[in-house]
């Protein structure tokens, strides 16, 4: 792989960057992660001692009632929020040891996000939306444009690449979001209810695509879901109950 992400990784810290490049297999290690909000006098304990080990090709569904901490856990795994205690290692690297700018580069390179409401930019075409993760590094290179085209073909939208999100169905938009999440060949794909807004047929198509592309790319997939069909399609399933992963 070429382009800015490796350069910026090399700038981050030589030993960690070297480690990240040497470990060919994607890994996620979550050790004793707890998270509380609020003050020390009256803390709200949201996650308690969450431990998780996953590697490339693994897929995990996280289920649990509303308010059980699912989104909080995804935010921490996505390096968007820090745990109160415990450690997260992505490809052997502790992302929270980085400065804000280094962390942004790391996140962009290592993590693909898929949201329930797709978060596509309405004024951009399908191909431009898929290329959004490259914008932090300046203009997308030809290798990014080629990969974006391949991913758009892979999600069955090759004939729609110039269309705007408003011209697509909900399932098609979610497929664009999957292509965008995979563009940078992330270690970790995090999805929050990716089929939540879809009819059954579209949900099945999105589930099949997501798992196939994740597996083809050797990525780790973690998805929060209320869908039994999606949870059943994933290799493993865990439940968050009162902040504990069981
Ligand atoms: P879920 O996604 O499982 O519905 P969340 O992770 O969104 O649950 O929330 C878990 C609990 O943490 C809820 O009680 C919520 O109100 C609380 N919470 C989430 N984020 C914050 C925050 N930034 N400050 C205070 N409380 C929060
Ligand atoms: Mg939530």
pLDDT at 12: 42
According to the model, what pLDDT value does residue 139 have?
Answer: 86
Q: Is 0.75 topped by the overall pTM?
A: yes
**Distance of CA 70 from the midpoint of ligand 2 (Å):** 5
**Which residue among 33, 38, 43, 44 is best mutated to probe the pocket of ligand 1, counting the most ligand atoms within 8 A of its Cβ?**
44
Cα-based distances in Å from 31 to 25, 46, 79, 89, 195: 19, 16, 15, 9, 29
Q: Which residue CA neighbors atom 26 of ligand 1 most closely?
A: 37
* CATH class of the domain defined by 11-245: alpha beta
Distance CA 149, CA 158 (A): 7
**Residue ID of nearest Cα to ligand 1 atom 6:** 69
**Residue 186 · residue 219 · CB < 8 Å:** yes
Alpha carbon distance 190, 149 (integer Å): 22
- The count of other CB atoms within 10 Å of the CB of residue 215 is 15
Q: Can you give the pLDDT of all 246 residues of the chain as single tens digits? A: 333 344 444 344 444 444 444 446 899 999 999 999 987 788 899 999 999 999 999 999 999 999 999 999 999 999 999 999 999 999 999 999 999 999 999 999 999 999 877 789 999 999 999 999 998 878 899 999 999 999 999 999 999 999 999 999 999 999 999 999 999 999 999 999 999 888 899 899 989 999 999 999 999 999 999 999 999 999 999 999 989 999
Pocket residue to mutate for ligand 1, from 37, 73, 222, 240, most atoms within 8 A of Cβ:
37
What are the residue boundaries of the structural domains of the chain, listed by start?
11-245
Atom of ligand 1 nearest to the CA of 72: 6
What sections of 117-199 are H helices per DSSP?
126-130, 142-154, 170-182
User: Parallel, antiparallel, or unpaired: how do β-strands 27-38 and 188-192 relate?
Assistant: unpaired
Q: 192: CA distance to ligand 2 center in Å?
A: 8
The pLDDT score that the predictor gives to residue 55 is: 97
- Cα 61 from chain centroid (whole Å): 13
Centre of ligand 2 from the C-alpha of residue 242, in Å? 14
CA of 45 to the centre of ligand 1 (A): 10
Question: Of 109, 114, 151, which Cα lies nearest the Cα of 133?
Answer: 109
pLDDT value at position 137?
Answer: 79
Q: Counting ligands in written order, which one lies closest to the CA of residue 240? A: 1
Ligand 2 center–CA 197 separation, angstroms = 14
Pairing of strands 85-90, 111-114: unpaired
Look at residue 18 in the predicted model and tell me its pLDDT: 43
Residue 88 β-bridge partners:
30
Residue owning the nearest CA to atom 14 of ligand 1: 67
List residues near ligand 1 (CB under 6 A): 37, 44, 46, 64, 66-72
């Amino acid at each position: 792989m070429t382009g800015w992400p490796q350069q910026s990784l090399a700038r981050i810290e030589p030993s960690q960057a070297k480690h990240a490049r040497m470990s060919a297999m994607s890994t996620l290690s979550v050790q004793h992660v707890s998270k509380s909000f609020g003050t020390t006098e009256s803390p709200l304990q949201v996650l308690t001692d969450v431990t998780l080990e996953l590697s490339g090709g693994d897929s995990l569904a996280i289920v649990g009632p509303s308010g059980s901490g699912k989104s909080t856990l995804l935010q921490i795994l996505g390096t968007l929020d820090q745990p109160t205690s415990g450690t997260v290692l992505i490809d052997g690297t502790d992302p929270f040891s980085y400065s804000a700018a280094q962390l942004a580069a790391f996140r962009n390179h290592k993590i693909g996000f898929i949201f329930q409401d797709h978060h596509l930019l309405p004024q951009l075409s399908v191909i431009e939306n898929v290329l959004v993760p490259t914008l932090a590094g300046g203009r997308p290179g030809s290798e990014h444009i080629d990969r974006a085209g391949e991913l758009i073909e892979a999600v069955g939208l090759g004939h729609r690449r110039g269309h705007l999100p408003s011209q697509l169905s909900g399932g098609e938009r979610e497929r664009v979001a999957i292509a965008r999440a995979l563009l940078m060949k992330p270690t970790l794909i995090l999805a929050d209810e990716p089929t939540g807004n879809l009819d059954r047929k579209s949900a099945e198509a999105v589930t099949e695509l997501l798992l196939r592309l994740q597996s083809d790319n050797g990525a780790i997939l973690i998805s929060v879901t209320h869908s039994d069909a999606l949870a059943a399609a994933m290799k493993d399933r865990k439940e968050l109950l009162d902040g504990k992963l069981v």
